[in-house]
Chains A and B, each alone.
Chain A
């Protein structure tokens, strides 16, 4: 386990480095972007004087490096901002304040996270069930007509951009059949039943897309383990096929699936932009696109860092999970 701890620590350090580079990249990018955040924050009819005032207010007059240093300081030590009549404190992992509306970026992120989490976690559960199930089935029926059918179906799922799947699902379930409400995000805390009903279509869209990938991965991984010697051992000892597959083959096939799940979940926590846009889910991805458009640097940096954090974290978790699940893998 010490090996594992050290490995985890090393990955963590690398992750921090990656995040730092990410934030620098975003800052750098924003300096070359056309458009003036102060102008965008102030509104089109602001006078030049007003824009200048706002620019000072936002600290955009400072040299680029000073701004970045200020950002880092806020991140590690927190920062204060004037509300006019007093000051507002923004505690230690402070990502700054939105240019657009002066809100703390951390609280903005916290507001968006539940929607994204609802979308990703639900979709994940669904695609794991559909994907792994299909994968196992087609591995078992290897070479048969069932496998070919399943392969065709999964290929098809994999082949369509998510917003088309979404539209087709809406057409079918909302317009033609009328079984489902037109999706509209309702927070879980507000009404769990409505929350689930409204998320069914977004979940399905993502799950159809993703489960295709998982089915393919599970299938090939399963075929690998099914041809492994230890599976043969249990067969040779009269263990039932069901238990050979369920206990031994599936178990061996799972590590890559786990690894991929962690990675996908990471990416998805960064916001499934297209899905969120299509279904109007107020998640991280949607606000990311919005804030890039309004050049709301603090929000963009915050979102990119959160996304990056989840992706890098998921990468590391995937590797650790993989190593734990399969001790044969040497941690490198």
Chain B
């Protein structure tokens, strides 16, 4: 009934149209309001800056992306495990939430020296920062999910004196999937910004750099066009991770729950 190419087109059209609109407004802004290019570069300049150094941006994007994906996966696993612990009792929750919150509210600049001393400079530290930054949403949404179980189903498990672990594995975790998916969506973006911030403080030198370095450098040199090109790549990165997480999440939800 539907041509596959037309399907793809209809998927891509609206965002592209909006993109064009946004670019037009942005362009008009820079021209009409005479916004100086050192503040907000014209879209064309950004494209030119990005295109001119495409290979470099791509490489940097890949490096940062790899760290972000690593940090995200670590958060997903550790976050779910932590949430399982948190769901066990209100005491554990009360006792441990402060430490989870600490991880979320601590500025990376404050703990960067510790991280570097213990993990050294390089990818592993960038992943660690990305992990720290993206952990909390998973913990909190998974915990909420694990606790929002249908009480009737819980009764069913109680009837058979199911052990906590069994309830967790066979009831709470599957029920929490929609919440975990929602948390993972949030985390995916945070993992990317976490990797970039990680590169600011613990990242690579200048010979092999990620987006964090490009952003820092362009900002120092006031090369706003380059800066925005790098930010654009990081957004693309965020979109890619988010898109992947969303698609997987949607597939799981559709398969398991028949909901969108």
Partners in one complex: no
Question: B: which residues have CB within 8 A of A?
Answer: none
